[in-house]
Structure 1
Amino acid sequence: MSTVTQLFKSPAADVWKVIEDGWLYSGWVVGASRIRAVDEQWPQVGAKLHHSVGSWPFLIDDSTRVTSMEPGQKLELLARGWPLGEAKVLITLEDLGGHQCRVSIAEDAVRGPGKVVPKALRDPMISVRNRETLRRLELMAAGGAGRKN
């Protein structure tokens, strides 16, 4: 799996608030264009986000499902974007105290054409995308996204 880690200048609780609001997903996940629906149970195991990937007018409607979750610490997803395929994604948060945490995203293709791409080519592409995903997530957490007034 390709893994990217970044030190955030926000507490893990603030980052988790962004993650647990499924409607914010397309704001920080590179490639997700829009959210069409979020299961009420999000981010509980089995819950889905119904999203579109790509750029208009070339959009693919699909979904991402939670396969494992530890509140405030870990979210494991099966992200779908057929006909491109499916990927396993693991997001982990480590609270470092004060206003800092360490966030990691580990990802790899598990089904479909993406899995056929050699790992030596696939990993760098995933890493570049997930570095930007972490930048966006940090900015949203720092800006207060996901916090209920």
Structure 2
Amino acid sequence: MAVRHRLIRRAPQRVWEVLSDPEQYADWVVGTSDARPDEGSWPQLGASLRYEIKIGPLTLHNRTIVRRSEPLTVLELEADSGALGTARIAMELRPWGEDTLIILDEHPLRGAGGFLHNAVVETLQQARSRAMLSRLARLCEDDKPPAPDLSIRQEPLEA
């Protein structure tokens, strides 16, 4: 299973804003493009998005459905990749001081993705998850002023 975590230097409210914006989905989910609302109001339970995944000359038309949504704390999705099967993508947001610790757990549920899951696929999944969390952090932190420099400064000694 691909479980990764990342500290995002923003409050959970900001991280949830990005996760709740269907127009930003393709900006943080690696490999997706042309994301658009399908059913319901994202990210409410049962809402879905449609998007494309391009692999070389091949274009897949996929759908992701919200399976669990607890604002500011949990978002669980099921990505349906047709013949490739489905995957569970669970994100937990934990307040960490003024920041957010996000834990991403993604693994196959049904279909070929689960059957073909092996160490090589797991390595690729880990890289994809790391990239997704990096993109999500960048989106969340973009408008944040830089953190103050809290390093200890030594004053020169006077003679």
Match of 2:100 in 1: 101
For residues 124 and 5 of structure 2, the distance between their equivalents in structure 1, rounded to whole angstroms, comes to 15
Aligned length: 143
Larger gyration radius, structure 1 or structure 2: 2
C-alpha contact 2:10 2:100 (8 A) present in aligned 1? yes
User: Larger RCO: Structure 1 or Structure 2 (Cα < 8 Å, ≥ 6 residues apart)?
Assistant: 1
Identity, % of aligned positions? 30
User: How far 1:61 sits from its partner (Å)?
Assistant: 1.1
After superposition, residues 1-149 of structure 1 pair within 5 angstroms as 1-55=1-55, 57-98=57-98, 100-144=99-143
C-alpha contact 2:20 2:43 (8 A) present in aligned 1? yes
Name the stretch that deviates more: 119-128 or 59-68: 119-128
Change (3 A) 1:94 1:36: same
* TM-score of the superposed pair, with normalisation by structure 1: 0.88
C-alpha contact 1:53 1:81 (8 A) present in aligned 2? no
User: How far 1:121 sits from its partner (Å)?
Assistant: 3.1
* TM-score of the superposed pair, with normalisation by structure 2: 0.83
The runs of 5 or more residues in structure 1 that have no matched partner are 145-149
For residues 118 and 24 of structure 1, the distance between their equivalents in structure 2, rounded to whole angstroms, comes to 28
Deviation per CA, 1:28-74: give whole Å up to 9, x if none.
00111221334441101100011111247421112100001110111
User: How far 1:12 sits from its partner (Å)?
Assistant: 1.4
